[in-house]
Amino acid sequence: MSADELSMEQIDLLLKAAVAAPSMHNTQPWRFEIDRHAINIYLDGSRALPAEDPTGRAMRIAAGAATFNLRCAAAAMGCGSWFGLMPDRYDPDLVARVVVEPINEPDRVLKQLAQEIPRRHTSREPVRPVHLAAEVRALLSKAAMTEQAELTWLPAPKVKEVLDLLVDTDLREIGDWHRRAERAHWVGGERSTDGVPSSVLGPRSAAYPSPVRDMGTSPTDQTRSRAVFEADPVLAVLSTNADTRADQVAAGLALQRMLLTATREGLKASFLNQPLEYDDLRRAVQRSTGKPGHAHMVIRFGHSTVTATTPRRPVSAFVPAHQESS
Ligand SMILES: Cc1cc2nc3c(=O)[nH]c(=O)nc-3n(C[C@H](O)[C@H](O)[C@H](O)COP(=O)(O)O)c2cc1C
């Protein structure tokens, strides 16, 4: 890196890390512009989910997660990163601006977490019954808090309440062709660049409601094999105090710091976000935490040895042609 410009190699490393972030239906709804030693992260409206994410909240969470990965990759290359969320109120698609500069002592935790980026994957497999030690729970809560969000661990009766909300969600989806068509567009089959391939859907649950979201829509996916999932899932809700666009991006940073920390602790995570796609059920999820705030993710944790990976578009697809790095 010269004094004030990122090299092509650095841009490539930074963006490869960023795009490994999770996104709803693996839409990868971000694009990047490089400005000397700063990277601007934008939402890509062409990859929106108008039926399931009409306000763009899930997109902003994904872009926040990509921003966090980018900061980790900067630390791993010996740089510091300074960032602003939603830095231009006249440009709502500009989610974050990250300035990357060489530094004597890069953030040690971000540098460590960078190693977990390629190892983190959403796991929709049954997990071994797990007793999460209080220290691990505290570690994950602290990770969320560091990024201005809160992780609430649900006690068994509240887990049951949230699982009941999944039934409500399923009932509402019956006959909602717009949502089903959108999901069918992004989920299932073989996929080489985006979307959720059938290979990562995991088995169908033998019991209902399931602690894993069954995203399959095609006849083949709906008849895949069944398995018994854990009866007492470990669930936590990630929330923020307010629900501005910047809060939603912050929730993404918190999500990713927490997921990479969980990966480092040998945990796998999956998401039960379907009730959060309806305003009233989202409020009910937040009520289950017993705290004020706005729920962004319902996260299930566990141990599993199965690793299922989703594809990503090449980095060149995310930057303007004149800034292409690979
Ligand atoms: C905001 C958001 C919502 C998501 N909702 C769900 C969900 O409800 N169920 C699910 O199984 N996965 C959900 N995911 C996970 C994505 O499907 C997953 O991140 C994507 O397919 C990429 O796969 P990876 O996480 O293994 O890299 C969500 C991810 C994000 C960021």
Our answer on whether the CB atom of 215 is closer than 6 Å to any ligand 1 atom is: yes
Q: Tell me: the pLDDT tens digits for 200-218? A: 999 999 999 999 999 999 9
Q: Ligand 1: which atom is nearest the Cα of residue 62?
A: 31
Q: Tell me: the pLDDT tens digits for 236-247? A: 999 999 999 999
Q: Ligand 1: which atom is nearest the Cα of residue 124?
A: 11
Q: How far is the CA of 26 from the centre of ligand 1 (A)?
A: 7
Our answer on whether the CB atom of 256 is closer than 6 Å to any ligand 1 atom is: no
Minimum CA distance residue for ligand 1 atom 20: 26
Our answer on whether the CB atom of 196 is closer than 6 Å to any ligand 1 atom is: yes
Our answer on whether the CB atom of 27 is closer than 6 Å to any ligand 1 atom is: no
Our answer on whether the CB atom of 213 is closer than 6 Å to any ligand 1 atom is: yes
Q: How far is the CA of 273 from the centre of ligand 1 (A)?
A: 9
Q: How far is the CA of 237 from the centre of ligand 1 (A)?
A: 15
Task: Summarize the confidence of residues 162-185 as an average pLDDT.
Answer: 94
Q: Tell me: the pLDDT tens digits for 221-231? A: 999 999 999 99
Q: Ligand 1: which atom is nearest the Cα of residue 274?
A: 8
Minimum CA distance residue for ligand 1 atom 17: 25
Tell me the best of 25, 43, 68, 301 to mutate to test the pocket of ligand 1, counting ligand atoms within 8 Å of each CB and taking the most. Answer: 25
Which domains can be identified in the chain, with CATH numbers?
Answer: 8-118 (3.40.109.10), 134-302 (3.40.109.10)
Q: How far is the CA of 64 from the centre of ligand 1 (A)?
A: 14
Minimum CA distance residue for ligand 1 atom 31: 23
Minimum CA distance residue for ligand 1 atom 15: 24
3-state SS of the chain?
CECCECCHHHHHHHHHHHHCCCCHHHCCCEEEEEECCEEEEEECHHHCCCCCCCCCHHHHHHHHHHHHHHHHHHHHCCEEEEEEECCCCCCCCEEEEEEEEECCCCCHHHHHHHCCHHHCCECCCCCECCCCCHHHHHHHHHHHHHCCCEEEECCHHHHHHHHHHHHHHHHHHCCCHHHHHHHHHHECCCCCCCCECHHHCCCEECCCCCCCCCCCCCHHHHCCCEECCCCCCEEEEEEECCCCHHHHHHHHHHHHHHHHHHHHCCCEEEECCHHHHCHHHHHHHHHHCCCCCEEEEEEEEEECCCCCCCCCCCHHHHCCHHHCCC
State the pLDDT at residue 130. Answer: 73
Q: Is the pLDDT of residue 76 over 60?
A: yes
Least confident of 3-7, 75-79, 97-101, 113-117: 3-7
Confidence at 3, pLDDT banded by 50, 70, 90: low
Task: Summarize the confidence of residues 43-70 as an average pLDDT.
Answer: 98
For all residues of the chain together, what is the average pLDDT?
95
